[in-house]
């Protein structure tokens, strides 16, 4: 009741002050000057902004810098209005004063605070985060300019409860959320900058670059959370309860998430798969484009991205065509009619395999007779390529087309299964049965 009574009294004082001053002539004069200043600022921005933006287009700025400057140009309205209000407040100090200047000074300070805060937050690339931080910063600055920041903080601190030796209040929660919000974003920003630096290092392997980037991000964000909790007055011993709850949640519902996370870290450490590798998993053939905490992105030759959980690379068979190098052997299996000469087939197949340009001359293609099938002589043609990243199916198809052309020129038939049906002891079918 004491908390409620104090805040009702504070609210009544503010409303009485506003009510008593709202009907004074000076108040209306100042409101009119503020409106004129804002309209003048809007007109200047409407006239000046296109010219400034057009001049910026002729300068080779980085994209993010150019976008930030364009957003700063949009603050011309508030800046011009603030200058006009400052000039008007100086005029009001003449003797005798033509009108009061309290609202003019207040409005100019609020506009200046808005311009400064909005200009500073342009380093933030995320629009939602940029608007949120600028709004929160301006509200705090406005409370300080109005002279009610301490009273607001006291009112928020009164609204709370004690949990053991720790007090939880609305002020504590707001401070904690803001601290975590800002620190985690700064940690993510620093981690992104460091990751870009690591990616440019030529002496580090691609998998090590990804691993170092992820470790840096996890460490920085963890430190940001710890610092945010302590700066808000939180007790780190409470994290023991939180870690227990997280462990329970992992045990019941986050097994796959944690499994994929540690599987990704293991893949990066043992270097079995790294960005740029050509792999085949579950019938999917493509390039490793990105290795994330939960999944690995595989881009196929038709430009489809398959997001495969990291756990699948640990528990299932994976063919890495470029684990050592991209020098690989490819097989083509085929069969020919029994009337064909196996020696001729072997020579024709080896000659046909040398036709595509991507086939290596050393070791040379080789063809083997591997079996006597039900209706064909079965052969396996083997050849080597040294650019598996250019695709395997396409070179196999080129060799098969060369085989087809060679067999057609030499009158060699590719057999198909033939079945003879013999009816024993049966009578001719009756007309009724027909």
pLDDT per position as a tens digit, 188-235: 878 888 888 888 777 666 766 777 777 788 888 888 877 777 766 665
Mark which of 261, 286, 301 sits at the end of a domain.
261
161: Cα separation from own chain's centroid: 40
Q: Is residue 426 in some structural domain?
A: no
Q: Is a pLDDT exceeding 90 seen at residue 87?
A: no
First to last CA, the chain: 101
Angle at 113 between CA 87 and CA 84, to 5 degrees: 15
Residues 361, 294 share a domain: no
Which CATH number do you get for residue 310? 2.30.30.60
Q: Is residue 121 in some structural domain?
A: yes
Residues 234, 178 share a domain: yes
What is the Cα–Cα distance from 38 to 35, expressed in whole angstroms? 5
How much is the pTM? Answer: 0.46
Q: Is residue 290 in some structural domain?
A: yes
Residues 244, 337 share a domain: no
Residues 91, 9 share a domain: yes
Domain total in the chain? 4
Which CATH number do you get for residue 394? 3.30.70.100
Where does the pLDDT of residue 8 fall: very low under 50, low under 70, confident under 90, or very high at 90 and above? low
Q: How much is the pLDDT for 434?
A: 47
What is the Cα–Cα distance from 400 to 393, expressed in whole angstroms? 11
Where does the pLDDT of residue 236 fall: very low under 50, low under 70, confident under 90, or very high at 90 and above? low
Which secondary structure element, helix H or strand E, spans residue 64, and what is its range? Answer: helix 63-73
Mean pLDDT estimate for the chain:
77
Per this entry, what is the length of the chain?
A: 434
Where does the pLDDT of residue 358 fall: very low under 50, low under 70, confident under 90, or very high at 90 and above? confident
Mark which of 320, 355, 388 sits at the end of a domain.
320
Find all residues with CB under 8 Å of 219, minimum gap 6, and list them. Answer: none
Residues 118, 60 share a domain: yes
**Average of per-residue pLDDT across 119-125:** 76
Contact indicator for 333, 382 with CB cutoff of 8 Å: no
Q: Is residue 432 in some structural domain?
A: no
Lookup: tokens for 251: 């045990």
Q: How much is the pLDDT for 1?
A: 44
Mark which of 158, 190, 214 sits at the end of a domain.
158
Where does the pLDDT of residue 366 fall: very low under 50, low under 70, confident under 90, or very high at 90 and above? very high
Residues 93, 10 share a domain: yes
Q: Is a pLDDT exceeding 70 seen at residue 114?
A: yes
Contact indicator for 291, 282 with CB cutoff of 8 Å: no
Domain with 153, as residue range(s), is 2-158
Residue with tokens 């590719």: 414
- What residues pair up with 279 in beta bridges, in sequence order? 286, 320
- Other beta carbons within 10 angstroms of residue 127's beta carbon come to 9
Q: Is a pLDDT exceeding 60 seen at residue 10?
A: no
Residue with tokens 């629009």: 127
DSSP string, 344-407: HHHHHHHHHHTSSTTB-SSSPPEEEEEEE-SSSEEEEEEEEES-GGG-SHHHHHHHHHHHHHHH
Contact indicator for 171, 156 with CB cutoff of 8 Å: yes
Residues 26, 108 share a domain: yes
Residues 148, 54 share a domain: yes
Residues 50, 189 share a domain: no
Q: Is residue 208 in some structural domain?
A: yes
Residues 184, 151 share a domain: no
Q: Is residue 266 in some structural domain?
A: no
Q: How much is the pLDDT for 365?
A: 92
Which secondary structure element, helix H or strand E, spans residue 383, and what is its range? Answer: strand 377-385
Q: Is a pLDDT exceeding 50 seen at residue 401?
A: yes
Does 124 or 384 have the greater pLDDT score? Answer: 384
Find all residues with CB under 8 Å of 236, minimum gap 6, and list them. Answer: 226, 229, 230
Q: Is residue 421 in some structural domain?
A: no
Residues 238, 220 share a domain: yes
Residues 251, 177 share a domain: yes
**Average of per-residue pLDDT across 141-148:** 78
């Amino acid at each position: 009741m004491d908390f409620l009574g104090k805040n009702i009294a504070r609210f009544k004082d503010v409303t009485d002050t506003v009510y008593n001053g709202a009907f004074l002539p000076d108040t209306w004069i100042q409101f009119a000057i503020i409106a004129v200043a804002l309209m003048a600022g809007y007109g200047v921005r409407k006239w000046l902004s296109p010219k400034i933006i057009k001049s910026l287009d002729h300068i080779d700025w980085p994209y993010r810098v150019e976008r930030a400057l364009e957003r700063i140009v949009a603050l011309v309205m508030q800046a011009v209005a603030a200058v006009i209000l400052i000039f008007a407040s100086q005029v009001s100090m003449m003797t005798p004063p033509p009108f009061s200047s309290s609202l003019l000074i207040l409005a100019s300070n609020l506009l200046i605070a808005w311009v400064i805060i909005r200009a500073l937050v342009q380093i933030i690339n995320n629009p939602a985060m940029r608007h949120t931080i600028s709004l929160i910063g301006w509200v705090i600055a406005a409370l300080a300019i109005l002279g009610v920041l301490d009273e607001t903080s006291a009112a928020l601190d009164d609204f709370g409860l004690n949990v053991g030796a720790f007090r939880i209040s609305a002020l504590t929660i707001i401070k904690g959320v803001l601290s975590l919000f800002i620190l985690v974003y700064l940690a993510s920003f620093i981690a992104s900058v460091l990751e870009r630096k690591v990616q440019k290092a030529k002496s580090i392997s691609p998998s090590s670059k990804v691993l170092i980037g992820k470790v840096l991000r996890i460490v920085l964000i963890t430190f940001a959370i710890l610092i945010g909790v302590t700066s808000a007055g939180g007790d780190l011993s409470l994290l023991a309860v939180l870690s227990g709850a997280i462990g329970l949640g992992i045990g019941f519902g986050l097994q796959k998430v944690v499994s994929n996370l540690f599987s990704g870290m293991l893949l990066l450490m043992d270097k079995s798969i790294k960005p740029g590798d050509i792999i085949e998993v579950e019938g999917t053939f493509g390039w490793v484009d990105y290795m994330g905490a939960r999944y690995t992105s595989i881009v196929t030759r038709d430009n489809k991205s398959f997001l495969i959980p990291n756990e699948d690379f640990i528990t299932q068979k994976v063919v890495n065509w470029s684990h050592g190098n991209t020098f690989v052997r490819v097989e083509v299996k085929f069969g020919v009619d029994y009337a064909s000469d196996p020696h001729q087939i072997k020579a024709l197949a080896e000659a046909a395999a040398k036709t595509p340009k991507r086939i290596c001359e050393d070791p040379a293609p080789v063809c083997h007779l591997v079996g006597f099938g039900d209706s064909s002589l079965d052969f396996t043609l083997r050849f080597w390529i040294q650019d598996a990243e250019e695709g395997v199916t396409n070179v196999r198809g080129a060799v098969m087309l060369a085989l087809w052309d060679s067999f057609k020129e030499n009158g060699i038939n590719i057999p198909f299964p033939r079945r003879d049906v013999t009816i024993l002891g049966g009578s001719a079918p009756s007309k009724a049965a027909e």
